């Protein structure tokens, strides 16, 4: 079946009012910490990259896509754009792409990445007929890149500074060339950071065009609260227009970007339909894997009544079973000992293999990633355990009044790239 690549609404301005796209949020982890980025896995309000209301497994993503197609006949594109980086979650990303290609051969496939770890997987992307790839390039001069990125993880090694920025641009360059040589359309996203990389954009455009990129998207900075660049004032519309004109001398510019979320669905610029948003939440509550039996919910608590502990502080895990529309305590399990780094969270996921959800008052990004990749949904909240169990065991979403996002160690966790525990 021949797929019409001109129907991608991000790469073709004329297609944006005719054809829809859906982003499948299966990639929570990231291998680069940008100083402007704050990823959120349970946010329903903000509209920007790095944000999603839930994280799905590949199997859940396939079921969600089935529901989306029933409601959205104009759907043409399935993308993976986070909320982290697809190739910091390679297993989940490639499995999702494989399932979509096998079950929906008529749809376009695309991924959006920082480019650090994509290159070894380009042959697989070619085999799966991925037609579009977006790579975010914010600098080519390492002195500028060192100010954009706090750290990056290259395999087991965490790097920062000029050496890290040099490595990233080198890997991005190789990826752009290989993707373009393979016939995959490459778009470059560049975040416009006032006073830092504005003058870099024409050079980025010139160099990526020489490597084979076909389009560029200059995106005004979104000042995310709590990040290093959270207090910067975005460039004015006049400045953005000038920069696009200068970069446009080298590479065609995308001017209809809506800064889509990692779970965006529908036409570009339009809100996700309420029915689709409900489908996304409903699918996230299904078993993480087909045939999986996880009847229980666990909570982190000091006294067994309130969710009032950060996961890193937990000495015990309270496990509840459904009981007449509420919950019944079935066991209190000792938490794995501290100081084991990733092994602590892997042991905890084994300890909670019969639990579908874990309720915490706070959690770092690394333990969240490990637990969710092993099939455990994590919800940050505050309040009575019984109130949460009543909603969740009834199949309803957690009320917004009970949800919270732990802020106490988030910035510190992001600062070193080594996680907590």
Select, from the ranges 65-79, 115-129, 294-308, 343-357, the one with the highest average predicted confidence (pLDDT).
Answer: 115-129
pLDDT > 90? residue 244: yes
Per-residue pLDDT, 416:
42
**Helix residue spans in 43-160 (DSSP H):** 58-71, 90-103, 122-127, 142-148
Burial of 293 (0-12, 13-18, 19+ CB in 10 A): exposed
Per-residue pLDDT, 208:
98
DSSP lists the bridge partners of residue 108 as 77
pLDDT > 80? residue 400: no
Per-residue pLDDT, 411:
43
What angle (nearest 5°) sits at the alpha carbon of residue 43, between those of residues 37 and 44?
A: 125
Beta strands 108-113 and 132-136, pairing class:
parallel
Per-residue pLDDT, 339:
85
**CB–CB of 57/376 below 8 Å?**
no
Residue 421: band (very low, low, confident or very high) from pLDDT cuts 50, 70, 90: low
Percent of the chain clearing pLDDT 70 (strictly above)? 88
Return the domain boundaries, the chain. 5-282, 292-416
For the residues 356-371, what does the mean pLDDT come to? 91
What angle (nearest 5°) sits at the alpha carbon of residue 197, between those of residues 43 and 181?
A: 85
Report long-range pairs for 275-281 (Cβ below 8 Å, ≥24 apart): 275/71, 276/67, 276/68, 276/71, 276/72, 277/44, 277/53, 279/64, 279/67, 279/68, 279/71, 280/53, 280/54, 280/56, 280/64, 281/53, 281/54, 281/397
**CB–CB of 194/232 below 8 Å?**
yes
Residue 414: band (very low, low, confident or very high) from pLDDT cuts 50, 70, 90: very low
Angle between helix 201-211 and 161-181 (nearest 10): 40
d(CA 222, CA 55): 22
Per-residue pLDDT, 293:
73
d(CA 403, CA 383): 9
Per-residue pLDDT, 335:
94
Beta strands 32-34 and 149-154, pairing class:
antiparallel
**Helix residue spans in 182-273 (DSSP H):** 201-211, 237-248
Residue-wise pLDDT tens digits, 169-178: 999 999 999 9
**CB–CB of 205/177 below 8 Å?**
no
Per-residue pLDDT, 1:
44
d(CA 151, CA 418): 10
List the beta strands (DSSP E) in 245-305.
265-266, 296-299
Closest CA to 77 of 8, 1, 5: 8
- Please state which CATH class domain 292-416 belongs to: alpha beta
How far apart, in Å, are the Cα atoms of 396 and each of 181, 376, 392?
48, 17, 5
Per-residue pLDDT, 42:
58
Reading the block at residue 375, the tokens are 């099939």
Per-residue pLDDT, 393:
84
For the residues 88-109, what does the mean pLDDT come to? 95
pLDDT > 50? residue 21: yes
pLDDT > 80? residue 18: no
Residue 410: band (very low, low, confident or very high) from pLDDT cuts 50, 70, 90: very low
d(CA 207, CA 49): 25
Among 32-36, 50-54, 154-158, which stretch is predicted with the lowest mean pLDDT?
Answer: 50-54
Q: What is the CATH number of domain 5-282?
A: 3.20.20.70
pLDDT > 60? residue 316: yes
pLDDT > 80? residue 194: yes
* 229 or 143, greater pLDDT: 143
């Amino acid at each position: 079946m021949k797929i019409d690549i001109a129907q991608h609404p991000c790469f073709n301005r004329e297609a944006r009012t005719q054809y829809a796209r859906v982003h499948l949020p299966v990639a929570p982890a990231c291998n680069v910490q940008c100083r402007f980025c704050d990823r959120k896995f349970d946010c329903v309000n903000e509209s920007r990259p790095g944000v999603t209301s839930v994280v799905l497994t590949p199997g859940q993503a396939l079921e969600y896509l089935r529901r989306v197609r029933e409601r959205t006949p104009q759907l043409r594109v399935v993308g993976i754009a986070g909320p982290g980086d697809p190739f910091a979650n390679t297993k989940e990303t490639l499995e999702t792409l494989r399932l979509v290609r096998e079950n929906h051969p008529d749809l376009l496939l695309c991924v959006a990445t920082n480019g650090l770890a994509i290159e070894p997987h380009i042959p697989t992307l070619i085999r799966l007929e991925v037609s579009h790839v977006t790579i975010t390039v914010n600098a080519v001069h390492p002195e500028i890149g060192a100010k954009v990125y706090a750290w990056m993880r290259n395999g087991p090694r965490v790097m920062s500074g000029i050496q890290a920025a040099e490595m990233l641009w080198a890997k991005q360059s190789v990826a752009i060339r290989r993707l373009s040589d393979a016939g995959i359309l490459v778009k470059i996203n560049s975040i416009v950071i006032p006073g830092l990389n504005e003058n870099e954009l024409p050079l980025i455009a010139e160099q990526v065009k020489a490597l084979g990129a076909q389009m560029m998207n200059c995106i005004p900075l979104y000042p995310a609260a709590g990040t290093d660049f959270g207090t910067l004032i975005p460039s004015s519309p006049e400045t953005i227009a000038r920069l696009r004109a200068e970069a446009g001398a080298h590479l065609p510019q995308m001017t209809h970007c809506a800064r889509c979320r990692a779970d965006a669905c529908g036409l570009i610029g339009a809100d996700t339909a309420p029915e689709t948003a409900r489908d996304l939440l409903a699918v996230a509550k299904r078993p993480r894997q087909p045939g999986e039996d996880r009847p229980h919910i666990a909570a982190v608590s000091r006294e067994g009544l309130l969710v009032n502990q950060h996961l890193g502080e937990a000495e015990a895990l309270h496990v509840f079973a459904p009981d007449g529309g509420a919950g019944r305590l079935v066991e209190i399990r000792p938490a794995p000992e501290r100081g084991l780094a990733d092994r602590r969270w892997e042991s905890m996921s084994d300890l909670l293999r019969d639990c579908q959800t874990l309720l915490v008052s706070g959690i770092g990004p690394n333990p969240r990633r490990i637990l969710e990749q092993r099939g455990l949904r994590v919800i940050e909240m505050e309040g009575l355990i019984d109130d949460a169990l009543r909603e969740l065991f009834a199949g309803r979403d957690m009320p917004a009044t009970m949800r919270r996002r732990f802020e106490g160690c988030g910035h510190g966790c992001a600062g070193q790239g080594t996680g907590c525990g």
